[in-house]
């Protein structure tokens, strides 16, 4: 089983700042099998990034993803008020498909 | 605009079963996989399994195998998940989610249902 460890647990930032979220896999995984989701309270997750760096339809270009073997990064270039939420990475190669525990981006 | 609408909240006793539905509208139901993902405060997000309706065969996450059944009814564009032998650990929000790709069960979910709260309590 691939364990995804997200860091930090909580990121306290101000609107306009840059957010860098990390997702580390317990073993080497293909970036094509890595996705990022955003979740706001009381809502279902929303797909942001798939195949490590492809933005889903309608996702603003301030969101970007990158990978390097076992380390994956979600970057929000300039935080907008609606970006404060919890972010999850997900891997779906092999079984079981797994999610990270989440990074909460909160307003400083 | 594809939408997934799930059935309402359920309360069950330990040892019983629950069946949750997920009705699709506004898109092509039969060729996109429908997966079920649950969310608990303790375990976070867990993929339970999925099905591509046109193929009819479901695949399940290892920890749910033998206790869960996922089906799809093309005539009503509705997917179902049934979970048996419920314990308090099954108390969670259950989501259905549509796969981005057609004809493949893969873990990129571009449309989600609103979630169904299932509470297991004596």
Q: Retrieve residue B39's tokens.
A: 């969310």
Residue A82 confidence (pLDDT) above 80: yes
Best A29, A41, A44, A58 member to test B by mutation, with max B CBs in 10 Å, is A44
Place of tokens 């996989």: B33
Which chain A residue's Cα is nearest to B94? Answer: A44
Residue B49 confidence (pLDDT) above 90: yes
> What are the DSSP calls for B9-33, one per residue?
-EEE-TT--EEEEEEEESS--TTEE
Q: What is the pLDDT of residue A96?
A: 84
Best B4, B61, B107, B117 member to test A by mutation, with max A CBs in 10 Å, is B107
Whether A31 has its CB under 8 Å from any CB of chain B: the answer is: no
Residue B54 confidence (pLDDT) above 80: yes
Per-residue pLDDT, averaged over B31-51, amounts to 94
| 3-class secondary structure, A93 | coil
Residue B42 confidence (pLDDT) above 90: no
Query: Residues of B with CB below 8 A from A92's CB?
Result: 47, 106-108
Q: What is the pLDDT of residue B43?
A: 86
Q: How confident is the model at residue A15 (pLDDT cuts 50, 70, 90)?
A: very high
Q: Do A95 and B62 count as a contact with CB atoms less than 8 A apart?
A: yes
The percent of residues in chain A predicted with pLDDT above 70, rounded, is: 100
Digit-coded pLDDT (tens) for B4-18 = 999 999 999 999 999
Residue B22 confidence (pLDDT) above 90: yes
For residue B63, the 8-state DSSP code is G
Residue B21 confidence (pLDDT) above 90: yes
Q: What is the pLDDT of residue B33?
A: 96
Q: How confident is the model at residue A94 (pLDDT cuts 50, 70, 90)?
A: confident
φ, ψ (nearest 5 deg) of residue A4: -105, 125
Q: What is the pLDDT of residue B12?
A: 98
Distance of CA B10 to the CA centre of its chain: 14
Residue with more model confidence, A16 or B27: A16
Mean pLDDT of all residues in chain B?
95
Residue with more model confidence, A67 or B70: B70
Based on the number of CB atoms within 10 Å of its own CB, is A6 exposed (0-12), middle (13-18) or buried (19 or more)? buried
């Amino acid at each position: 089983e691939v364990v995804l460890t997200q860091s930090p647990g909580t990121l306290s930032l101000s609107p306009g700042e840059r957010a860098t979220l990390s997702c580390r896999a317990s073993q080497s995984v293909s970036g094509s099998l890595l996705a990022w989701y955003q979740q706001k309270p009381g809502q279902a997750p929303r797909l942001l990034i798939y195949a490590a760096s492809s933005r889903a339809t309608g996702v603003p270009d301030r969101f970007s993803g990158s990978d390097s073997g076992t380390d994956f990064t979600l970057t929000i270039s300039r935080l907008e008020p609606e970006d404060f939420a919890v972010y999850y990475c997900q891997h779906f190669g092999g079984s079981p498909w797994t999610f990270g525990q989440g990074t909460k981006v909160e307003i400083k | 605009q594809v939408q997934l609408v799930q059935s309402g909240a359920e309360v069950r006793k330990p040892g019983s079963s629950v069946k949750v539905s997920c009705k699709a509208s506004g898109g092509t139901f039969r060729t996109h996989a429908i997966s079920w993902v649950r969310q608990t405060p303790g375990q976070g997000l867990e993929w339970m399994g999925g099905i591509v309706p046109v193929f009819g065969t479901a695949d399940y996450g290892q920890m749910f195998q033998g206790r869960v059944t996922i089906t799809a009814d093309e005539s009503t564009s509705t997917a179902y998940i049934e979970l048996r032998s419920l314990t308090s650990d099954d108390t969670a929000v259950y989501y259905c989610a549509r796969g981005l790709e057609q004809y493949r069960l893969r873990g990129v979910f571009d449309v989600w249902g609103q979630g169904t709260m299932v509470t297991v309590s004596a």
